[in-house]
Structure 1
Amino acid sequence: MDILTLVGLIFGVGALLLGQYLEGGQASALLNGPAAVIVLGGSMGAIMLQAPMSTFMRSLHILGWIFRPPTLAADEAIEKLIAWSNIARKEGLLGLEAISETEPDAFARKGLQLLVDGSEPEVMRGILEVEVDAKEHHDMQAANIYASMGGYTPTIGIIGAVMGLIQVMNNLADPSQLGHGIAVAFVATIYGVGTANLLLIPIANKLKSIIHGQTQFRLMIIEGIVSIAEGENPRNIQTKLQGYLH
């Protein structure tokens, strides 16, 4: 669990509520159903119009990463690669065939299979890098869904504010309706700006950071497997791969 995500949410929302309290207001004043419908519903509709179905569904799938990011055991991966390198030096590349069939990580397993098949190092690098680039591109598009929503919500919040003011102008003769219209106007603006800057844009940036980490991890796997194919000394491979840990 990424505790920093939870702490950040508590701090962000808590700061708004504390500020409202210190100004003499009540938290309930920030609760407004129509404003929430306008901002959240409008933003969701806009992003659905923008994104392909596969990208939109992927964005929902990876949202949980902000709390539970995929585990990247880089130290363990380096140990495995060094062990594979030692086996390859002693038994040849075919000595890795049994390992290639049982390796749990799909990407490393694919690299091992290419290694066992005797593929040229640059061919292996090209094949694996294409997969890395394609996955990174797809996941980055999914993360950008939240960045795009962060761009839409403030504007839609302003639309909600204008709609609220229209209701105010239409009910000038009925003072009992003025408060409700003004509340929708200002709360919609808060929802739009607050949702963008406290949730959506930070979520997008955290997801991009996680995706970048995954890409670096896979590039490390590629470097290790290609180094094995080139017959490099296991100690040199270890020194090279440890550079990815920084």
Structure 2
Amino acid sequence: MDIASVMGITLALLGILGGMLMEGGSIAQITQPTAAIIVLCGTGGAVLLQFPIGIFMAAIRQVAKVFTVETSNAQMTLSQIVEFANKARKSGVVSLDEDLPRIAEPFMKQALMLAVDGIDPSAIRQIMHLELENGAEIEEKIASVFEAAGGYSPTVGILGAVLGLIQVMQHLDNINEVGKGIAVAFVATIYGVGLANLVYLPIAGKLKIKHREEQVVKEMVLEGIVSILEGMNPRMLELKLNTYLLEARAEEQRAEDRRIK
């Protein structure tokens, strides 16, 4: 589990709800199903109008990434590439053909397959760079889904509040009911602003970090496979690829610093 994500959402909820309770409020005051339906469905509809259904569903599936950590995979991938380099040095690149079935990662499998088939290193770089660029474009759209939701949600919340006030105006003869109705009407605004700033926008930011980390690992894989094909010493290769892991950590730190600012 990604402890930062779990602690973040927990701290935010505890702080907001705790502050409300300390001021004499109650959770029941903000548990309004009607307001939740207006904000969630309104925001979801606006996002669906902006993005294709495939991108929308891909974004929903990637929410799990926000709460999981896969940092160990990068080190395992590096070790696997070094293992391939040692084997290729002893038995030739063609000997790696028997390792293809046990490679689960599609990007690495495709790059290694091209290398085993004797494709020129420059051609491999060109082919796999195209795949990297296409993947990065899709991942950018996925993060944009949550950014768009973060933009629409507060506005839809205001729309829900206005709808609630319209209903309140129909009961001006009962001042007690008017007061309660106004309070209920503004719950939609709370949902809209809360979801945008505590859920949608943080998810978008975290996915961008995760996607960049994955891209750096793929760049490392490509450089590793090409270097094997070019006959680089396995020990030199390991030192070279370690710089990609340092870059991934540095990129994560830079993204975290930007989010704090």
TM-score range relative to shorter protein: over 0.9
What's 1:37 paired with? 37
Give the SS at the match of 1:182. helix
Alignment of 1:78-97 (within 5 A): 78-97=78-97
Q: Hey, what's the Cα distance between the residues in 1 that align with 2:180 and 2:59?
A: 35
Q: Hey, what's the Cα distance between the residues in 2 that align with 1:37 and 1:183?
A: 17
Q: Which runs of 4+ in 1 moved over 3 A?
A: 69-72
What's 2:175 paired with? 175
Q: Hey, what's the Cα distance between the residues in 1 that align with 2:88 and 2:10?
A: 51
What's 1:75 paired with? 75
Alignment of 1:102-141 (within 5 A): 102-141=102-141
> Is structure 2 residue 23 aligned with structure 1 residue 9?
no
- Alpha-carbon offset, residue 38 of structure 1: 1.4
Q: Hey, what's the Cα distance between the residues in 1 that align with 2:24 and 2:122?
A: 67
What's 2:214 paired with? 214
> Is structure 2 residue 195 aligned with structure 1 residue 202?
no
Q: 1:110 to 1:139 in 2, by over 3 A?
A: same
TM (normalized to structure 1)?
0.94
- Contact 1:154–1:189 (8 Å) recurs in 2: yes
Cα deviation code 1:107-161 (max 9, x no counterpart): 2111111111111111101111212222222122122211110110111111112
What letter corresponds to residue 124 of structure 1 in structure 2?
Answer: I
- Could you tell which deviates more after superposition, 44-53 or 90-99? 90-99
- Uncovered stretches (5+) of structure 2, i.e. residues with no partner: 247-261
- Alpha-carbon offset, residue 165 of structure 1: 2.0
> Is structure 2 residue 242 aligned with structure 1 residue 242?
yes
Q: Hey, what's the Cα distance between the residues in 1 that align with 2:191 and 2:175?
A: 25
- Alpha-carbon offset, residue 69 of structure 1: 4.4
- Uncovered stretches (5+) of structure 1, i.e. residues with no partner: none
Q: Hey, what's the Cα distance between the residues in 1 that align with 2:55 and 2:70?
A: 19
- Contact 2:88–2:228 (8 Å) recurs in 1: yes
Q: 1:108 to 1:97 in 2, by over 3 A?
A: same
What letter corresponds to residue 225 of structure 2 in structure 1?
Answer: I
Q: How many residues align?
A: 246
Give the SS at the match of 2:186. helix
What letter corresponds to residue 91 of structure 1 in structure 2?
Answer: S
Q: Hey, what's the Cα distance between the residues in 2 that align with 1:42 and 1:77?
A: 43
* Identical-residue share of aligned pairs (%): 40
What letter corresponds to residue 19 of structure 2 in structure 1?
Answer: G
Q: Hey, what's the Cα distance between the residues in 2 that align with 1:226 and 1:196?
A: 43
- Contact 2:150–2:197 (8 Å) recurs in 1: yes
> Is structure 2 residue 160 aligned with structure 1 residue 160?
yes
What letter corresponds to residue 232 of structure 2 in structure 1?
Answer: E
- Contact 1:58–1:139 (8 Å) recurs in 2: no
RMSD: 1.6
TM (normalized to structure 2)?
0.89
Q: Hey, what's the Cα distance between the residues in 2 that align with 1:157 and 1:70?
A: 35
Give the SS at the match of 1:73. helix
What's 1:62 paired with? 62
Cα deviation code 1:69-112 (max 9, x no counterpart): 45652222222212211222222211211112332222211111
Q: Hey, what's the Cα distance between the residues in 1 that align with 2:52 and 2:4?
A: 31
